[in-house]
Amino acid sequence: MREKNADFGVLVTDVYPKNITRMTLIDGVWVCSVEEFKGLCFVIRESILLLSNYSISQENKGEKMNMLYNFLTGNEFRMQIEAIVEGFTQMTDDLNAERRAMESMWKKRAKQIEKVLLNTSHMFSTVKGIAGDSVQKIDLLELPKAKTEL
């Protein structure tokens, strides 16, 4: 392993050392049978891939950190954050303007409905005053009856 600078060593054998009955790691070398070898190959392959990915992620780490720091402290990052905040601020302003406009429309409509109901009540009262009880009663225009307790 030293000569080849290998990360893993495997010894495939038919005869295990004393007190060993199956695959094991002895002094950094995997000792296994022919049957266990295929499974061990899969495990070692996955380990090599993980180590490789880790090594790649660590390459130029200092340089990447420096680049990231420069970006975060630079003008471009500040301008991007400002653009995001401006977008949210504009959306909030638009929402508030829409809310004010809708509330104004709702108040106007509520006044119109109130006016129509009041005029309808006046007209019905006038007709009832002229025609008397021959005009049928409209419950919605009557006072609510008091609830009687049992």
- Listed residue (46, 44, 18) closest to 30, CA to CA: 44
- Which amino acid, one-letter code, is at 43? V
Tell me: pLDDT of 64 over 70.
Answer: yes
* Confidence grade of residue 1 (pLDDT, cut at 50, 70, 90): confident
Q: Which residues partner with 29 through β-bridges?
A: 9, 26
Is a pLDDT exceeding 90 seen at residue 7? no
pLDDT at 99 over 80: yes
**Residue 11 binned pLDDT confidence (cut-offs 50, 70, 90):** very high
* pLDDT value of position 107: 96
The neighbour count for residue 32, using CB atoms within 10 Å, is: 20
Question: Whole-number mean pLDDT of the chain?
Answer: 90
CB 32 within 8 A of CB 40: yes
Contact 23, 33 (CB under 8 A): yes
Whole-prediction pTM value? Answer: 0.42
- For the chain, give every domain's residue range: 9-61, 70-131
Burial of 31 (0-12, 13-18, 19+ CB in 10 A): buried
